Structure 1
Amino acid sequence: MIKFENVGLRYGMGPEVLRDVSFHVPKQSFQFLTGPSGAGKTTLLRLLFMSLRPTRGLITVFDKDIATIEVSELPLLRRRIGVVFQDFRLLDHMTIYENVALPLRVRGREEAGYRSDVLELLKWVGLGDRLHALPPVLSGGEKQRVAIARALIDQPEILLADEPTGNVDTPMAKRLLRLFLELNRLGTAVVIATHDLGLMDQVEARRMILSEGQLEIYE
Structure 2
Amino acid sequence: MDLVRFENVGLRYGMGPEVLRDVSFEVPANSFQFLTGPSGSGKTTLLRLLFLALRPTRGLITMFGQDVVTLSKRQLAESRRRIGIVFQDFRLLDHLTTYENIALPLRVQGQDETRYRPEVVELLHWVGLGERMHVLPPVLSGGEKQRAAIARALIVRPELLLADEPTGNVDPVLARRLLRLFVELNRSGTSVVIATHDATLLEQFPARRLRLEGGHLHIEERAA
- Bin of the TM-score, shorter chain as denominator length: over 0.9
Q: Are 2:32 and 1:30 aligned?
A: yes
SS of corresponding position for 1:187 = coil
Q: Which amino acid aligns with 1:159?
A: L
Could you tell me which of 126, 130, 145 is aligned with 1:128?
A: 130
Aligned twin of 1:190: 192
- Please give the alpha-carbon distance, in whole angstroms, between the structure 2 residues aligned to 1:141 and 1:203: 20
Q: Given that residues 2 and 25 in structure 1 are in contact (C-alpha distance below 8 angstroms), is that contact kept between their aligned partners in structure 2?
A: yes
- Please give the alpha-carbon distance, in whole angstroms, between the structure 2 residues aligned to 1:97 and 1:210: 36
Q: Are 2:158 and 1:156 aligned?
A: yes
Q: Are 2:23 and 1:4 aligned?
A: no
Task: Map residues 198-217 of structure 1 onto 2, 5 A cutoff.
Answer: 198-217=200-219
Deviations 1:63-103 (A, max 9, x none): 11111110121111101000011122222321111010112
Q: CA deviation at 1:112?
A: 3.3
Q: CA deviation at 1:120?
A: 3.1
- Please give the alpha-carbon distance, in whole angstroms, between the structure 2 residues aligned to 1:66 and 1:87: 27
* Number of corresponding residues: 219
Aligned twin of 2:146: 144
Name segments (4+ residues, structure 1) moved above 4 Å.
none
Q: Given that residues 19 and 215 in structure 2 are in contact (C-alpha distance below 8 angstroms), is that contact kept between their aligned partners in structure 1?
A: yes
Q: Which amino acid aligns with 1:166?
A: G
Greater shift in the superposed pair: 181-190 or 115-124: 115-124
Aligned twin of 1:178: 180
- Please give the alpha-carbon distance, in whole angstroms, between the structure 1 residues aligned to 2:156 and 2:70: 27
SS of corresponding position for 1:154 = coil
Runs of 5+ in structure 2 lacking a partner? none
Q: CA deviation at 1:139?
A: 4.0
Q: Are 2:105 and 1:92 aligned?
A: no
Q: Given that residues 135 and 143 in structure 1 are in contact (C-alpha distance below 8 angstroms), is that contact kept between their aligned partners in structure 2?
A: yes
Runs of 5+ in structure 1 lacking a partner? none
**Sequence identity of aligned pairs in percent?**
72
Q: Given that residues 143 and 174 in structure 2 are in contact (C-alpha distance below 8 angstroms), is that contact kept between their aligned partners in structure 1?
A: no
Task: Map residues 72-111 of structure 1 onto 2, 5 A cutoff.
Answer: 72-111=74-113
Cα RMSD over matched residues? 1.5
Q: CA deviation at 1:174?
A: 1.4
Q: Given that residues 155 and 183 in structure 1 are in contact (C-alpha distance below 8 angstroms), is that contact kept between their aligned partners in structure 2?
A: no
Q: CA deviation at 1:111?
A: 2.7
Greater shift in the superposed pair: 178-187 or 100-109: 100-109
- Give the TM-score, by structure 1 length: 0.93
Change (3 A) 1:168 1:123: farther
Q: Given that residues 160 and 192 in structure 2 are in contact (C-alpha distance below 8 angstroms), is that contact kept between their aligned partners in structure 1?
A: yes
Aligned twin of 1:58: 60
